[in-house]
């Protein structure tokens, strides 16, 4: 458990403001360092063979302007691809996602660190009208990204594949998700969230990711 919680602490979380084609957006932002060369981290986030080992299997026309789909239903278009520093995609999910075009985008930025490592930044921007925010706050996507980036850390460190969704169901993963939800609550407060809304959002997010086993 110690190593897992150290990974949780390795990331800086923030909630900010941005824009998407549909209009004003809020952002879920994660920054951390990976102890690997930038080319290796870029390959881990763009190679279909490696993507499926920490995120999900991906299919589609994997080039600038092409469309992709993950095995879990997430799909979109590759908007920017500037190896090995920047990848940006539209990100739609859920049965009604295609009725909300331009509402959600994910951007990953990489920069070489001073010691042969890589600075990693992920920004998920979602339109303020996106229906899950009033209930879950930034934890709606933030906890999921925390779980995914933990799996990416394991892949980069030792080549170990990890199903982040299955891990989330384990006792260790449930505790990780609880703490992640609380950390996103702190980011929400720091961004000016109303305390009552933040408390309710953290509770709802925790129940979603850590349901009662009964």
pLDDT classification of 161: cutoffs 50, 70, 90: confident
As a whole number, the mean pLDDT across the chain is 94
**DSSP codes joined into one string, 43-56:** HHHH-HHHHHHHS-
* The model scores a pTM over 0.85: yes
Please tell me the distance from the alpha carbon of residue 175 to that of residue 17, in angstroms, as a whole number: 29
- Domains of the chain, first to last: 2-209 (3.30.530.20)
With beta carbons less than 8 A apart as the criterion, state whether 120 and 32 touch.
yes
- The per-residue pLDDT for 2 is 63
What's the pLDDT tens digit per position in 18-33? 999 999 999 999 999 9
Q: Helix 2-9 crosses helix 171-190 at what angle (to 10 degrees)?
A: 20
Q: What is the spatial distance between Cα 47 and Cα 7, in angstroms, rounded to a whole number?
A: 23
Residues 84-96: pLDDT tens digits? 999 999 999 877 7
> Percent helix, strand and coil across the chain, each rounded to 5?
40, 30, 30
Q: Is the peptide bond before 135 cis (omega within 30 degrees of 0)?
A: no
Q: Mind listing the pLDDT tens digit for each residue in 129-146?
A: 777 889 999 999 999 999
Q: What is the DSSP letter of 166?
A: H
Task: Determine the Cα–Cα distance for residues 19 and 183; give it in Å rounded to an integer.
Answer: 24
Helix axes 139-158, 171-190, angle to 10 degrees: 130
């Amino acid at each position: 458990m110690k190593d897992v919680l150290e990974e949780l602490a390795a990331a800086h979380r923030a909630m900010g403001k941005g824009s998407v084609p549909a209009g004003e957006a809020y952002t879920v932002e994660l920054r951390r360092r990976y102890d690997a060369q930038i080319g290796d981290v870029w390959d881990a986030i763009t190679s279909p063979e490696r993507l499926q080992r920490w995120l999900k299997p991906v299919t589609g026309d994997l080039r600038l302007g092409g469309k992709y789909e993950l095995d879990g239903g997430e799909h979109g278009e590759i908007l920017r691809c500037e190896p090995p520093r920047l990848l940006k995609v539209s990100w739609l999910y859920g049965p009604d996602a295609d009725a909300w075009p331009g509402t959600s985008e994910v951007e990953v930025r990489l920069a070489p660190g001073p010691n042969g490592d890589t600075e990693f930044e992920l920004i998920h921007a979602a339109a303020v009208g996106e229906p899950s925010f009033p209930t879950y706050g930034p934890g709606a996507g933030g906890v999921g990204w925390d779980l995914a980036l933990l799996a990416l850390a394991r892949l980069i460190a030792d080549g170990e594949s990890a199903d982040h969704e299955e891990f989330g169901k384990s006792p260790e993963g449930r505790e990780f998700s609880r703490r992640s939800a609380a950390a996103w609550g702190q980011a929400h407060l720091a961004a000016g969230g109303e305390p009552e809304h933040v408390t309710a959002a953290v509770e709802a997010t925790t129940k979603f990711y850590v349901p009662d086993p009964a």
